[in-house]
Copies of this chain bind each other. A is one copy, B any other.
Amino acid sequence: MADLLECVPNFSEGRDEEIIAELRSALGIPGVTLLDVHSDRDHNRSVFTLVGTPEALVDAVYQAARVAAERIDLTKHTGAHPRLGATDVVPFIPLTGTPMSTAVEASRALADRVWTGLSIPVYFYEESATQPERVNLEQVRGKGFEEALATVAAEPRRRPDIGNPQLHPTAGAVITGARGPLIAYNIYLNTPDITIAKAIAKTVRHSGGGLRFVKALGLDIPERGCVQVSMNLTNFRRSAMFTVFDLVRQAAESYGVAVTDSEVVGLLPAAALFDVARHYLRMHHFEENQVLEMRLLETNPDEALAS
C-alpha cells in the first residue's frame, strides 16, 4: 500500500514558453502524473497539478526548482501575482486514504533537498507551519521578494525555517507545506435577486458566523438569469459538502427560493463525495477501501497506473 499525494507547485514564470517547457520536463519523472498545467501571462506564473508517491513528487519538484533557480531571476521579474520565490509555493495535499502526516513529511523532505542542493531557504506554511503566524500563505509571503530580500536577514522573527536568514539573491525562498484539498463549490438558486444570494453567503461563511471552513460570496449569473452562492470549502472533512448544501437549501427556503443545482469547479477528492453518500444513505460503518478503485490505488499504484 502506497500513500499518494497531490502536489501543486507554483513557479514565477508564465510567459517564456521555453522555461515553462523545461519546468514541465523536469517534473515528468516516473511515479508522477501531470494532471494539469496553467500558465498566466498577466500573473507571470505557472501552476502544475501533479499526483504521485511522496518520494517521486519531492524529487520532481526539486528538479523543477533547480530549473527555476537557474532560469528565473526575480530581480527582473514583473507580474501581477505576488511572489517570494522563483519556485514560489509548493502545497502537498493528501489523496483519499493518505494521512496528512505524509504530506507534512513530503514538505520537510523537499525543504531539505532545496536548501542542501540549491542553497535556497524554505518557509513552512499551513499544516507544516512551525509557528501560528506562518499558517497563512499571505502572511509568510508578506510584501514579496524585493522587500524580503532587503529586510529578512535583519529580522530574526522572519527567518526562514530551513537555511540562511538571507534569501537567495535571484531565486528568493520557497514556501512549502501540507494542506487539505480546496473544493470550489457553487449552489444555484431559482431567483435573479442578488441580495438573497449575498444574504445566504453571509449566513453560511465563517466570517459571517457560519461554517468554520467555508468562504462564500453571492454572485449574479446573468447568462443563466439567476444567482449563485459561490464557495470555497477548505476542509471538507469538518465542514462537509452535505452540511453546506443543506444549510444553503434551508436558508434559501426561508426566502421562498429553491436550489436548482450545484457544481464543483475543477477537481475534488473522491472522499468528499463518499462522505456525501455515507451521510445521506446513513452508512455509518462505510470504509473507503470498500471502493474498488480506491483499493486499486492503495494496493499497487504502479500496477494501477501501468497501461
Contacts and interface: CB of A to CB of B under 8 A. Distances in A.
Interface of A: 2, 4, 6, 24, 27-28, 30-35, 51-53, 95-96, 181, 241-242, 245, 259-264, 266-270, 273-274, 276-277, 280-286, 290-297, 299-307
B267 A303 contact: no
A280 B283 CA distance: 15
A293 B31 contact: no
Copies of this chain, count: 2
A285 B268 contact: no
- Counting from the closest, the 7 A-B pairs by CB-CB distance are A28-B305, A2-B307, A276-B277, A273-B277, A33-B301, A300-B307, A280-B280
A52 B296 CA distance: 9
B259 A282 contact: yes
A27 B33 CA distance: 27
A292 B95 contact: yes
A281 B296 CA distance: 27
A105 to B, nearest CB: 16
Contacts of A4: 296, 304
Given A259-B282, A283-B263, A285-B263, A305 B296 contact: yes
B242 A293 contact: no
17 contacts: A4-B304, A28-B305, A31-B301, A31-B306, A33-B299, A33-B301, A33-B304, A35-B304, A51-B295, A96-B292, A242-B281, A262-B281, A264-B283, A264-B290, A266-B290, A270-B274, A297-B305
Given A30-B306, A263-B286, 10 more contacts: A28-B305, A30-B301, A33-B304, A95-B292, A96-B292, A245-B282, A262-B281, A263-B285, A269-B293, A300-B305
A285 B186 CA distance: 12
